[in-house]
Amino acid sequence: MEKKASRRENECEEKNSNSEGSEQDKDYKTSLVTLNVGGYLYITQKQTLTKYQDSFLEGIINGRIMCPFDADGHYFIDRDGLLFRHILNFLRNGELLLPEGFRENQLLAQEAEFFQLKVLSDAVKSRWEKEQLASRETTFLEITDSHDRSQGLRIFCNAPDFIAKIKSRIVLVSKSRLDGFPEEFSVSSNIIQFKYFIKSENGTRLVLKEDNTFVCTLETLKFEAIMTALKCGFRLLTSLDCSKGSIVHSDALHFIK
């Protein structure tokens, strides 16, 4: 009798456990929402969409705003489906995180306004204003001989991140290739001054050694800067000193997007 009673208790516990598990599964499934935004399907949780009160998405979930359904019964929102991933990521993370090189600030700001997310709209506009301000500021990098500043190269560009990229590249290459020369160069915010040059019949050349057999000329450095700029989407606006005939003979390069 005791074994039968124990067996019945175990069966009841299993049923209750299964019942609770199925209820949890049901609750979890009902907390998921599928949105069709401009033909792109997004699956997320209700709590994500209702994070900001009085927003468009919160209104849909809570029934304040009527929204049509597509043929599969998903909420259909006639907006930019690709840009919506940034809207959803903002709701998930609570901050604006965009991929490097993102250039659709104006469109994203409009989407944020449509979805009634003022915090996101303000963040996008602030980012956009900073980028426009930076694009108007021309910055430069100067690479010179510390004893003769007439020897060297000046690179101008309206993108500080590009100048930083060129600068770090030159410093990295110089540190890896210059051996046997203590205090080979000094670096400041916009200037790299080399303390050692090699004099040859062909003129002054920057000391950028590779296995002690190769010396990178200043002309090679100019070509490297130009190729890096083209790969990053910049164009050579002008060689600032064209009187010497060729780009490789000019003292400065000016890049712009």
10-43 per-position pLDDT tens digit: 555 555 555 555 555 545 446 899 999 999 999 9
pLDDT reading at 168 higher than 80: no
pLDDT of res. 28: 45
Q: CA triplet 246, 247, 250: central angle to 5 degrees?
A: 95
pLDDT reading at 225 higher than 60: yes
Q: What is the mean pLDDT of the chain?
A: 75
92-140 per-position pLDDT tens digit: 999 999 988 788 999 999 999 999 999 999 999 998 888 776 665 557 7
Q: What are the angstrom distances between the C-alpha of 146 and each of 104, 126, 182, 191?
A: 43, 41, 15, 10
**N-terminal to C-terminal alpha carbon distance within the chain:** 87
pLDDT of res. 100: 80
Instruction: Give the list of residues 6+ apart from residue 83 with CB closer than 8 angstroms, or none.
Output: 104, 107, 108, 111
Cβ atoms within 10 Å, residue 85: 13
Contact of 109 with 128, CB cutoff 8 Å: yes
**Regarding the domain delimited by 24-135, which CATH topology (the fold level of the hierarchy) does it fall under?**
Potassium Channel Kv1.1; Chain A (3.30.710)
Average pLDDT for residues 208-231, to the nearest whole number?
63
Q: How confident is the model at residue 55 (pLDDT cuts 50, 70, 90)?
A: very high
Instruction: Give the list of residues 6+ apart from residue 63 with CB closer than 8 angstroms, or none.
Output: none
Ranges for all domains in the chain classified under CATH 3.30.710.10: 24-135
